[in-house]
């Protein structure tokens, strides 16, 4: 009887955590926020910081995976109006357990029009080494806070049992924040958190619709990236990956596919833009971009175009 009760309790815990995966932002993962203050203008700069993944709300349930990520962000010419992104990278070391890459994002905090996402390592199991992103773009800064921001997610744990942990780094490049000639990391403004974040209902409803369409074999997490952007990750034991990005005021831009390379199809008065790219594991990933119910969305998945389009129609 005691053994039965123990098994029943374990099952209930797994079910509860599975439900939390869909509604909570980080499902117990670790998030580090860094504020890097730079001057009003400059010709180039570099941010570097080691993020040590060691804990979280559900650290044990996530497999006690630990690793170090050295984040490097290289930027070019900037002033109080414009900011040049060059490249970014992370060096993975001291990995104990299993982890996969997630999503990288560059943008500003005032207009989603200038957000760009990169899925090169999404769903790809990573062991050790340096992993690079190329941005090579100049964007306007917002008129209020003059901040550029860089976000990167990684995932620790397994798709089965139903527990995954999304870990995130958020780097704020605070233009005009340094009155000195040298840039510096503001230790008082930088912090670490494991707390879940509130997500607007309109975003969670779409994630729940996608979860229903995928069925019970998939585990999902929903998390905000930057301002008015939500990214939902879904994985299963067969190594299928589906990533849904939502923002409510501008079309979504992905770094992986040129805009000119998207084809278009109209179904029931909704226009879907279809593209594809090969990820870091040389696996074909399909991209579906569309607007529905006043919200801009993008699906990125290793499922076929036909399967991805069917999922998009369900949202």
The predicted-structure confidence for 257-281, as pLDDT tens digits, reads as follows 999 999 999 999 999 999 999 999 9
State the alpha helices, DSSP H only, in the chain: 2-23, 201-214, 305-314
- Highest mean pLDDT among 38-42, 84-88, 172-176, 216-220 belongs to 84-88
pTM of the complete model beyond 0.85: yes
Query: Tokens representing 159?
Result: 């798709």
pLDDT at position 211 is 87
| Residue scoring higher pLDDT (233 or 197) | 233
Q: Are the C-beta atoms of 276 and 305 separated by less than 8 Å?
A: yes
Range name among 52-56, 97-101, 185-189 with the lowest pLDDT average: 52-56
pLDDT at position 60 is 79
Res. 238: pLDDT tops 80: no
- Mean per-residue pLDDT, 231-243: 84
Res. 54: pLDDT tops 80: yes
**pLDDT-above-90 percentage for the chain:** 57
What is the per-residue pLDDT across 87-136, written as a single tens digit (0 to 9) for each?
999 999 999 998 999 999 999 988 899 999 999 999 899 999 999 999 99
- Mean per-residue pLDDT, 62-69: 90
Query: Tokens representing 68?
Result: 């170090």
Three-state helix/strand/coil letters over 86-154 = EEEEEEEEEEECCEEEEEEEEEECCCHHHCEEECCCECCECCCEEEEEEEEEEEECCCCCCEEEEEEEE
Res. 239: pLDDT tops 70: yes
The closest alpha carbon to 63, from 157, 126, 194, 127, belongs to 157
pLDDT at position 15 is 37
Res. 86: pLDDT tops 80: yes
Range name among 57-71, 109-123, 184-198, 290-304 with the lowest pLDDT average: 184-198
pLDDT at position 25 is 37
Res. 227: pLDDT tops 90: no
Query: Tokens representing 4?
Result: 């039965």
The number of C-alpha atoms within 13 Å of 311 and in the hemisphere containing its C-beta is: 30
Mean pLDDT estimate for the chain: 85
Q: How far apart are CA 182 and CA 185, in angstroms?
A: 10
**pLDDT-above-70 percentage for the chain:** 86
What's the pLDDT band for 21 if we cut at 50, 70, 90?
Answer: very low
């Amino acid at each position: 009887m005691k053994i039965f009760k123990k098994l029943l309790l374990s099952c209930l815990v797994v079910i509860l955590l599975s439900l939390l995966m869909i509604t909570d932002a980080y499902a117990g993962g670790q998030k580090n926020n860094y504020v890097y203050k730079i001057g009003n203008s400059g010709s180039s700069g570099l941010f570097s910081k080691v993020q040590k993944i060691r804990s979280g709300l559900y650290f044990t349930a996530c497999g006690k995976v630990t690793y170090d990520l050295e984040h490097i962000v290289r930027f070019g010419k900037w002033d109080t109006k414009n900011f040049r992104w060059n490249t970014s990278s992370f060096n993975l070391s001291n990995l104990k357990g299993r982890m996969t890459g997630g999503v990288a994002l560059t943008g500003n905090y005032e207009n989603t029009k200038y957000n760009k996402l990169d899925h090169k390592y999404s769903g790809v199991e990573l062991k050790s080494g340096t992993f690079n992103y190329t941005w090579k773009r100049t964007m306007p800064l917002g008129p209020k806070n003059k901040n550029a921001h860089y976000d990167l997610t990684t995932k620790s744990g397994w798709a089965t049992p139903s527990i995954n942990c999304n870990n995130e780094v958020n780097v704020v490049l605070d233009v005009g924040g340094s009155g000195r000639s040298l840039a510096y990391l503001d230790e008082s403004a930088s912090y670490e958190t494991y707390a879940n974040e509130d997500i607007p209902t309109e975003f969670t409803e779409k994630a729940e619709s996608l979860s229903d369409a995928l069925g019970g074999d998939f585990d999902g997490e929903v998390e905000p990236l930057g301002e008015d952007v939500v990214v939902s990750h879904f994985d299963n034991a067969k190594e299928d990956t589906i990533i849904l990005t939502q923002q409510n005021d501008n079309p979504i831009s992905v770094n992986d596919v040129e805009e000119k390379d998207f084809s278009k199809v109209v179904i029931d008065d909704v226009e879907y833009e279809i593209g594809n790219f090969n990820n870091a594991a040389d696996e074909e990933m399909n991209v579906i971009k569309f607007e529905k119910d006043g919200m801009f969305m993008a699906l990125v998945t290793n499922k076929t175009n036909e399967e991805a389009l069917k999922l998009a129609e369900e949202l």
